[in-house]
């Protein structure tokens, strides 16, 4: 099934490879501000794709995925603060691995009870989970949530910090896209789609719905935590308020909606559009920034209710019909 999926999507794979090749060479001709915007795009695209594994494929929309951004960041930060290794890079790698594993373990523990909820009840429950994690971070001394944690400087002396973390974001986002693609073309992906369309019928037809949902939840949480850890290192200093941000969770959903729910390329396109609008086009219009952004989002949703991917498919079908 995986081999068939790769063959069916071979042109998308080629396009992704070309895209990442362009991203790898981009810092050579971009300004420091543009490199920073590139970091934000990669972070946003990765978050959107990670959320899609659960919200897009399985149809379980989470309003609280920022819980795993904060959990991964603070576990990694606390470890690196209290257990420094031989070199800053080794400390960062170990902290990143431990933070990601913490997200995997915690998500596996809470997955079964919370995934018994559906629809808006699951979405709100995840928002509550995020709030609980934030309060724990504030009140557990090891995390120093209110005081904040200085992340170790692992940037090689030969590289600019912006460029270094840009490449780390490239690696994390590439991993997230690779995992999401594997899920989509595997038996797990087809099972998740059947759950999204009709979970009760899928269960009656023999789909192991509980196991598939848990896998999707854990993978989505772990990748979100990984991206949160990279974001924390790029910031250099984190507090509860800087990583447990509700707008992160909402933005993941916006990226997927704009690009196309249930697709992998959709969140990438949605995040590219949002970052371009907010950071480049409207970056200097601070007084009307939010108003114009909101108006544009409403217009895009009305004109393309199935996202940019759905809109493109509609145009292609019209073109094919006209040509016939």
Three-state secondary structure readout of the chain = CHHHHHHHCHHHHHHHHHHHHHHHHHHHCCCHHHHHHHHHHHHHHHHHHHHHHHHCCCCCCCCCCHHHHHHHHHHHHHHHHHCCCCCHHHHHHHHHHHHHHHHHHHHHHHHHHHCCCCHHHHHHHHHHHHHHHHHHHHHCCCCCCCCCEECCCCCCCCCCHHHHHHHHHHHHHHHHHHHHHHHHHCHHHHHHHHHHHHHHHHHHCCCCHHHHHHHHHHHHHHHHHHHHHHHHHHHCEECHHHHCCHHHHHHHHHHHHHHCCCCCHHHHHHHHHHHHHHHHHCCCCCCCHHHHHHHHHHHHHHHCCCHHHHHHHHHHHHHHHHHC
The pLDDT, as a whole number, for residue 321 is 60
pLDDT of residue 75: 93
pLDDT for 151 equals 87
Residue 177, number of CB atoms within 10 A of its CB = 22
Query: Would you tell me how many other CB atoms lie within 10 Å of the CB of residue 302?
Result: 8
Give the Cα-Cα-Cα angle 171, 71, 125 (nearest 5 degrees).
Answer: 115
Identify the pLDDT of residue 174: 94
Instruction: Please report, in tens digits, the pLDDT of each residue of the chain (324 residues total).
Output: 656 666 666 777 788 888 888 888 998 888 888 999 999 999 999 999 999 999 999 999 999 999 999 999 999 998 988 887 778 888 899 999 999 999 999 999 999 999 999 989 999 999 999 999 998 888 877 776 678 888 888 888 788 889 999 999 999 999 999 999 999 999 999 999 999 999 999 999 999 999 999 999 999 999 999 999 999 999 999 988 899 998 898 889 989 988 888 899 999 999 998 888 888 776 666 666 667 777 777 777 777 777 788 877 777 777 666 543
How far is it, in rounded angstroms, from Cα 272 to Cα 259? Answer: 9
| Topology of the domain comprising 2-245 | ABC transporter involved in vitamin B12 uptake, BtuC (1.10.3470)
Confidence at residue 323, expressed as pLDDT on a 0 to 100 scale: 45
d(CA 60, CA 58): 6
């Amino acid at each position: 099934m995986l081999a068939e999926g790769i063959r069916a999507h071979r042109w998308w794979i080629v396009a992704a490879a070309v895209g990442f090749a362009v991203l790898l060479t981009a810092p050579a001709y971009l300004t420091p501000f543009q490199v920073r915007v590139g970091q934000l795009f990669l972070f946003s695209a990765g978050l959107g794709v990670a959320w899609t594994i659960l919200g897009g494929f399985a149809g379980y929309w989470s309003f609280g995925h920022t819980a795993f951004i904060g959990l991964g960041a603070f576990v990694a930060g606390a470890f690196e603060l209290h257990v420094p290794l031989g070199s800053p890079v080794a400390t960062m790698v170990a902290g990143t691995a431990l933070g990601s594993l913490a997200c995997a373990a915690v998500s596996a523990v809470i997955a079964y009870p919370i995934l018994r909820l559906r629809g808006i009840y699951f979405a709100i429950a995840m928002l509550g989970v995020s709030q609980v994690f934030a309060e724990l971070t504030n009140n557990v001394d090891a995390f120093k949530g209110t005081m904040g944690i200085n992340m170790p400087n692992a940037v090689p002396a030969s590289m600019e910090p912006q460029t270094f973390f840009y490449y780390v974001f490239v690696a994390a986002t590439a991993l997230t896209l690779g995992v999401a693609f594997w899920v989509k073309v595997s038996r797990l992906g087809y099972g998740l789609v059947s759950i999204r369309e009709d979970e009760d019928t899928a269960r009656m037809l023999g789909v192991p719905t509980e196991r598939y949902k848990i896998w999707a939840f854990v993978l989505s949480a772990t990748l979100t935590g990984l991206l949160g850890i990279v974001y924390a290192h790029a910031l250099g200093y984190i507090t509860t308020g800087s990583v447990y941000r509700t707008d992160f969770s909402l933005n993941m959903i916006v990226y997927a909606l704009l690009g196309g729910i249930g697709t992998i390329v959709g969140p990438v396109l949605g995040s590219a559009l949002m970052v371009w609008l907010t950071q480049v086009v409207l970056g200097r219009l601070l007084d009307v920034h939010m108003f114009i952004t909101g108006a544009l989002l409403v217009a895009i949703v009305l004109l393309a209710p199935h996202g940019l991917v759905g809109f493109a498919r509609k145009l292609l079908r019209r073109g094919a019909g006209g040509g016939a």
